[in-house]
Structure 1
Amino acid sequence: MLPASSTRLSLRLKPAPAPRLRQRLLFFWAGALFIAGDVVFWLMFAAVLSSTGLATLDGTVHTFVVDSRNSFATGFLAAVSAVTSPTVTAVFGGLVALAWAVWKRELWRPAVLMGAMALSVVLATVIKLEVSRSRPPSSDFLLGPDDALSFPSGHTLGTAVFVLVLAYLLVSRSGNRTTAVLAYSAAALLTLLVAYSRLYLGYHWLTDVVASIGVALGVLGLAVFVDAAKTGRAAL
């Protein structure tokens, strides 16, 4: 028989399967999110360039939403759009990351959040310049003129990346399925609300906001992969 001390040593040296399994599961979800987001974005990109697919509904959806306006919805959705502008989202995200770093004395997760948000700004800028798509008719704008390019929606992309990546970073360490479902559901609903507000207020086409959601899913997939790669190594 092996001495007790040798048995304890062998147990300590044996890799723990749980962290490795969790890392592989996160890698799977990271890949699935990235591929799904990529597919959604490129389908919208192709549709816009060729005026086919979902792009054929852009005019119809725009007209329907404009015709359905009412004073209550206008006030509410104008407020939603104002507090989720790219500038406001960037400032708020920076404050959240700073507060997190100071309160939790942690740099990694706030850095992942800010990195994802910075990447979304770069992608939005590059894509807008590449596609160079015009907005809907300015006569339908409810909040004044806006001469920025239309594809994709900066409001939708910035908000989606912020809330989705934040939800992942908050619940990924808890292991509580109910909390995770609630967090991701709230993030998805807020993203859809912002996307609808941009359609309702007249500043974007349907394919603009759908493409933004696709890009956001891809960025979320990258954030999950980067976080899993680092934290997984630390746990093994």
Structure 2
Amino acid sequence: MLPAQRAPRPSARPPLPSQRRLFFVAAGLLVAGETIFWTMLAAVQSNSGAAALDGPVHDGLVASRDPLATSILTAVTTVTSPLWMTVIGCMLALAWAAWKREIWRPALLVGAMAAALAVSTLIKHDVARPRPAASDFMLGPDDALSFPSGHTFGAGVFLCVLSYLLVTGRGTRTSKRTTSALSFAAAAAGTLVVAFSRLYLGYHWLTDVLASIGLALAVTGTVILADGLRTARAARLPAPAVPAAQAAMPAPAYAAQEYPSEDGLLEPDAHRLGDHHRRG
């Protein structure tokens, strides 16, 4: 009988290089997003810096309106309204949870959308910046406050967070960098189109949409950080070990003994016992 041996105790593994990269990406997005937002807020409150471009950009876009561009950007701004973004995000998360049978990643998307809506509402009421002249509105009156742009903020969070969740989804964490770059480039392009639509249709100033882009980057960085921390914690959990007594248990003695059969082949002792009973 073999001597009992203690099963090796699994140790926690350090974070993988890909996880460390995610942490750096999350930190970079947080720093960049916060820097953009606070810079735009300071410019608005002091009426200097980037705020000096608000009037010229607004007047230039109003003067260069085109029927085809107006139709396209009207559709864009209608679909990406905060209400529609919330509805689309919740429906997609529910479908995702039912299809993939997971809660965490759909919950990240819904949580990011809810955070964007709450933060946008709080900042609007705190800054209380008026919109451009109502005579320049292309889609009728809107008495909401201007800073930041809720359309740009919500669309940026939805597109960027969704791109991250899809690229780093279950079974795709080894995706090529080209796929990741294209996915985030598409999210950035979509966010810029929404931001341009708000400027073109006359509802926001340039600093409004720039501040919203910064906020969207910060929320995306927060989501990546939360998901990365959860993944790193799961990687550190030890795998269930086989009990030492079970691992050291020897195989039954009869299983290792073989005897020649009548035709010259080897067969286990248990078979011979069966033959003995049949012959008896």
Provide the TM-score with structure 2 as the length reference: 0.79
The unaligned stretches of length 5 or more in structure 1 are none
Matched, 1:92 2:88: yes
Aligned to 2:211: 211
- Once the 2 structures are TM-superposed, how far is the Cα of residue 15 of structure 1 from its aligned partner? 4.5
- Once the 2 structures are TM-superposed, how far is the Cα of residue 14 of structure 1 from its aligned partner? 4.9
Percent of aligned pairs sharing the same letter: 56
Matched, 1:140 2:143: no
The unaligned stretches of length 5 or more in structure 2 are 237-280
Segment of structure 1 superposing worse, 181-190 or 169-178 = 169-178
Aligned to 1:227: 227
Aligned to 2:71: 75
Aligned to 1:191: 191
Q: Distance in 1 between matches of 2:146 and 2:167?
A: 33
Q: Distance in 2 between matches of 1:186 and 1:141?
A: 28
Question: Based on CA coordinates, which of the two structures has the bigger radius of gyration?
Answer: 2
Q: Distance in 2 between matches of 1:97 and 1:15?
A: 32
Give the number of the structure whose residues are more often helix, by fraction.
1
Amino acid in the other structure paired with 1:90:
T
Amino acid in the other structure paired with 1:52:
S
Amino acid in the other structure paired with 2:209:
V
- Out of 13, 26, 30, the position equivalent to 2:10 is 13
- Out of 127, 149, 171, the position equivalent to 1:131 is 127
Q: Distance in 2 between matches of 1:25 and 1:190?
A: 25
Aligned to 1:35: 31
Q: Distance in 1 between matches of 2:180 and 2:19?
A: 17
Q: Distance in 2 between matches of 1:20 and 1:73?
A: 47
Count of aligned residue pairs for this structure pair:
229
- Once the 2 structures are TM-superposed, how far is the Cα of residue 61 of structure 1 from its aligned partner? 0.2
Amino acid in the other structure paired with 1:27:
F
Segment of structure 1 superposing worse, 174-183 or 79-88 = 174-183
Aligned to 1:178: 178
- Once the 2 structures are TM-superposed, how far is the Cα of residue 119 of structure 1 from its aligned partner? 0.6
Q: Distance in 1 between matches of 2:48 and 2:140?
A: 30
Amino acid in the other structure paired with 2:185:
S
- Once the 2 structures are TM-superposed, how far is the Cα of residue 24 of structure 1 from its aligned partner? 2.2
Q: Distance in 1 between matches of 2:180 and 2:20?
A: 18
- Once the 2 structures are TM-superposed, how far is the Cα of residue 22 of structure 1 from its aligned partner? 2.5
Q: Distance in 2 between matches of 1:203 and 1:143?
A: 9
Q: Distance in 2 between matches of 1:21 and 1:15?
A: 15
Deviations 1:128-172 (A, max 9, x none): 011100000000000000000000000000000001001011112
Q: What is the SS of the residue equivalent to 1:202?
A: coil
- Out of 62, 65, 76, the position equivalent to 1:66 is 62
Segment of structure 1 superposing worse, 188-197 or 169-178 = 169-178
Q: Distance in 2 between matches of 1:99 and 1:27?
A: 29
Q: What is the SS of the residue equivalent to 2:16?
A: helix
User: RMSD of aligned C-alpha atoms?
Assistant: 1.6
Aligned to 1:26: 22
Deviations 1:89-111 (A, max 9, x none): 00000001000000000100000
Deviations 1:53-99 (A, max 9, x none): 00000000000111110100000000000000000000000001000
Deviations 1:193-226 (A, max 9, x none): 0000000000000000000000000101110111
Segment of structure 1 superposing worse, 177-186 or 151-160 = 177-186
Q: What is the SS of the residue equivalent to 1:77?
A: helix
